[in-house]
Chain A
Amino acid sequence: MRHLSGDDLALHYYGESQRSAAIERHLRSCPRCASEFARITRTLGSITAPDTSDPGDEFPLEIWQHVRSRALQNDPRPRLAPFVWLVPLLYPLSFLAIFESARLAHEQATIGIPLVVLALGWALAGPFVAVFALSEIRGGRTDAARHQFVVFGALLATISPALFNLTSRTGLGLPAWYGATALAAVASFLPIPEFTGAIERLRRFHRLSALLIVIFAVAHVANQAFAIVSVSSHTFVQNVLRVVYRQPLIETLLIAAIALQVATGTMMWRGKVQRGSTSANLQAASGLYLAVFFLAHVSAVALARQYQTETNFVWAAGPMGLLARPGLTALLPYYLLAIVALFVHVGYYARVTAMAFLPELPVRRLSYAAITVCGTLVLTIGLALCGIHLAP
């Protein structure tokens, strides 16, 4: 047996090691490990619990007064959270702002370009505002029904760019968008049962289907990045990739995986939000956006293929890029947020998994690398979607 690590010995100290008998035998025959174990025992043994003084006989009454006053105040903490509804209400203005500031940038780059960045930030801000709103109601998360209005507002703020894409297909314009918003507001007052089934089984299906989607998504997103070189180079890479993913079996598996991913993710969303931590909320928001994006994007591709339309880069971004007209500009936050959501959603899971096996520092470095890759991809694909290419 090799020498035991400090972690193995610490686990043994607490009686949590699954190979205690082997460790005991080793400690009897290895003076180095025995001395290390004695040192750990001494150190951990010296850490004694601080004795606590009694909080006082009047403390139960103080608790009662605190609970009573806060309960009667109806929890005043989530003051700003209801304003999350402003995100869907103002969303159509955000891509109009991108369009108008891009036009200004053509004439006055120094004023126009910062305005484009600001407007784009506004259009992409929905999920982050949603996470802030959800964290504001964190203290009262156990009382879900009372905060359902905020939760639904956060839901709508998160999915705004993808939902706008779906409602605009009705051809009814803004009335369809505000109709959907009003419906969500009404739904927030209805009792919605929470999923109480076997979450662990759902998680397994969710991860399994995610594996296939991630492989496809990495190839697909990398393919979009090639458009920064030229549309023809994007098309070349796309044709190579299509040899694989347009195979009927792979296509069917992919669509099944997406359906499974959306269904299982939707069932787990609320439970995730109720856990209340910012990272859990980010995971839920990014997953929710991806679910609606998949729904919008896959159905758009299916419709286009039904009408024998080639679903290439020009189909996605138009011949002159997404800044050619406001209707197309709405697609810019829709696509870019999908890339961000993919990185956040997969990245969060990867980070939690890596934390179980790697020390903190490499995990942190890997996280920074992933954020840099995500930022670079968003910028690259964003410029390409706006009709900017390195080669004509």
Chain B
Amino acid sequence: MAAEAGDLASVRCPVPEDNTAFLTLVERHYRQMYRLAVRITGNEQEAKDVVQESWLRAYRGFSQFEGRADLGTWLHRIVVNCALDLLRAGRSRPDRTRPEAMNLRVQAIATAAPDPERLAASAETARRIESALEALSPVERTAFTLRHFEGYSIDEIAQTLGLRSNNVKQHIFRGIRKLRVALEPQGSGQ
């Protein structure tokens, strides 16, 4: 943390001609930021755009970052809001053209030694999960992602999105209800 505060001081140059301190910070955080952006947007190319835009916002906001929060937390908050802006603008689309994205999820769902039938079933499940997540509203998807994949508490999500905890709960509940309708066999819900 102390090292990062030192890095920040050198990052705050008015014109970024050749800023190795900035690059050091990018190197340290970009993978986690990218992973978070992929999880929210469901699209790797869009996630790259989100990460680039987040760093631009971070660069412009370094002067206002006063070390009140952990730098990583602050950067994650920017990524979440950038990704949410993108989802709201309706620009994000799932990576249907990139089979390996689906395959990775399929491998996670399938057993260690999958036979072709199991792989096909897992592929079907993965597709259903993708389209169920796609059907969530931008805030529902973001809140669900932060709770389910990232392990944020509801209060942390509320703080990140600038919402009240009760609102976040409702967004998550709505998201889960939609996911259950899409993923559970008919007639099994309450």
On chain A, the number of residues with a Cβ less than 8 Å from chain B's Cβ atoms is: 48
Contact assessment for A46 and B129 in the assembled complex, using a CB-CB cutoff below 8 Å: yes
Contact assessment for A60 and B26 in the assembled complex, using a CB-CB cutoff below 8 Å: yes
Contact assessment for A51 and B104 in the assembled complex, using a CB-CB cutoff below 8 Å: yes
Interface size class of B (residues with CB under 8 A): 35 or more
Give residues 152-171 of B contacting A (CB, 8 Å). Answer: 153-154, 162, 164, 166-167, 169-170
In chain B, what residue has the closest Cβ to A278?
B88
For residue B177, which residues in chain A have a CB less than 8 angstroms away from its CB? Answer: 6
Q: Mark B87-104, 1 if CB is under 8 A from A, else 0.
A: 000000000000011001
Given A48-B105, A51-B104: A60 touches B23 (CB 8 Å cut-off)? yes
Say how far A124's CB is from chain B's closest CB, in angstroms. Answer: 26
Secondary structure of the A side of the interface?
A: helix
Given A6-B176, A36-B190: A47 touches B15 (CB 8 Å cut-off)? no
The reply to whether the CB of A49 lies closer than 8 angstroms to some CB of chain B is yes
Say how far B129's CB is from chain A's closest CB, in angstroms. Answer: 6
The reply to whether the CB of A86 lies closer than 8 angstroms to some CB of chain B is no
Say how far B136's CB is from chain A's closest CB, in angstroms. Answer: 11
Q: How far is the CA of A139 from the CA of B107 in the complex (A)?
A: 38
Contact assessment for A360 and B190 in the assembled complex, using a CB-CB cutoff below 8 Å: no
Give residues 20-77 of A contacting B (CB, 8 Å). Answer: 36, 39-40, 43-44, 46-55, 59-64, 66-68, 70-72, 75
Q: Mark B133-175, 1 if CB is under 8 A from A, else 0.
A: 1000000000000011100011000000010101101101110
Q: How far is the CA of A60 from the CA of B174 in the complex (A)?
A: 37
Q: How far is the CA of A275 from the CA of B161 in the complex (A)?
A: 10
Contact assessment for B149 and A7 in the assembled complex, using a CB-CB cutoff below 8 Å: no
Q: How far is the CA of A43 from the CA of B185 in the complex (A)?
A: 10
For residue A67, which residues in chain B have a CB less than 8 angstroms away from its CB? Answer: 16, 22, 52, 55-56, 59
For residue B19, which residues in chain A have a CB less than 8 angstroms away from its CB? Answer: 64
Stretch from B1-9, B35-43, B111-119 that touches the partner: B35-43
For residue B123, which residues in chain A have a CB less than 8 angstroms away from its CB? Answer: none
For residue A53, which residues in chain B have a CB less than 8 angstroms away from its CB? Answer: 44, 100-101, 104
The reply to whether the CB of B108 lies closer than 8 angstroms to some CB of chain A is yes
For residue B174, which residues in chain A have a CB less than 8 angstroms away from its CB? Answer: 359-360
The reply to whether the CB of B109 lies closer than 8 angstroms to some CB of chain A is yes
Contact assessment for A50 and B180 in the assembled complex, using a CB-CB cutoff below 8 Å: no
Contact assessment for B167 and A355 in the assembled complex, using a CB-CB cutoff below 8 Å: yes
In chain B, what residue has the closest Cβ to A363?
B170
Given A6-B189, A70-B56: A46 touches B109 (CB 8 Å cut-off)? yes
For residue B23, which residues in chain A have a CB less than 8 angstroms away from its CB? Answer: 60-61, 64
Contact assessment for B22 and A59 in the assembled complex, using a CB-CB cutoff below 8 Å: no
For residue A11, which residues in chain B have a CB less than 8 angstroms away from its CB? Answer: 169
Say how far B47's CB is from chain A's closest CB, in angstroms. Answer: 8
For residue A72, which residues in chain B have a CB less than 8 angstroms away from its CB? Answer: 15-16
For residue B26, which residues in chain A have a CB less than 8 angstroms away from its CB? Answer: 60, 63-64
Contact of B184 among A43, A59, A140 (CB under 8 A): A43
Given A6-B180, A50-B104: A352 touches B167 (CB 8 Å cut-off)? yes
Contact assessment for A55 and B34 in the assembled complex, using a CB-CB cutoff below 8 Å: yes
In chain B, what residue has the closest Cβ to A14?
B147
Secondary structure of the B side of the interface?
A: helix
Contact of A356 among B30, B34, B162, B170 (CB under 8 A): B170
For residue B125, which residues in chain A have a CB less than 8 angstroms away from its CB? Answer: 46
The reply to whether the CB of B183 lies closer than 8 angstroms to some CB of chain A is yes
Give residues 309-365 of A contacting B (CB, 8 Å). Answer: 352, 355-357, 359-360
For residue B67, which residues in chain A have a CB less than 8 angstroms away from its CB? Answer: none
In chain B, what residue has the closest Cβ to A47?
B129
Given A14-B147, A46-B129, A63-B52: A51 touches B162 (CB 8 Å cut-off)? no
For residue B173, which residues in chain A have a CB less than 8 angstroms away from its CB? Answer: 6-7, 10
For residue B164, which residues in chain A have a CB less than 8 angstroms away from its CB? Answer: 352, 356
For residue B61, which residues in chain A have a CB less than 8 angstroms away from its CB? Answer: 142-143
Contact assessment for A63 and B55 in the assembled complex, using a CB-CB cutoff below 8 Å: yes
For residue B167, which residues in chain A have a CB less than 8 angstroms away from its CB? Answer: 352, 355-356
Q: Mark A281-293, 1 if CB is under 8 A from B, else 0.
A: 0000000000000
Say how far A178's CB is from chain B's closest CB, in angstroms. Answer: 34
Given A44-B176, A50-B38, A70-B56: A356 touches B108 (CB 8 Å cut-off)? no
In chain B, what residue has the closest Cβ to A15?
B153
For residue B48, which residues in chain A have a CB less than 8 angstroms away from its CB? Answer: 55, 59, 62
Contact assessment for A275 and B162 in the assembled complex, using a CB-CB cutoff below 8 Å: yes
Task: Return the 10 tightest CB-CB contacts between A and B, nearest first.
Answer: A142-B61, A356-B166, A51-B104, A66-B52, A49-B149, A143-B60, A60-B26, A7-B173, A48-B108, A52-B38
25 examples of A-B residue contacts, CB within 8 angstroms = A6-B177, A14-B147, A16-B153, A40-B180, A43-B183, A46-B125, A48-B108, A51-B107, A55-B44, A60-B23, A60-B30, A63-B51, A64-B22, A64-B26, A67-B52, A68-B17, A70-B56, A75-B60, A138-B85, A139-B57, A140-B60, A142-B61, A143-B60, A355-B170, A356-B167
Residues in chain A within 8 A of chain B (CB atoms): 5-7, 10-11, 14, 16, 36, 39-40, 43-44, 46-55, 59-64, 66-68, 70-72, 75, 138-140, 142-143, 275, 280, 352, 355-357, 359-360
Known interface pairs A44-B176, A50-B42; 5 further A-B residue pairs with C-beta atoms within 8 A, sorted by A's residue number: A5-B190, A43-B183, A52-B39, A143-B60, A356-B167
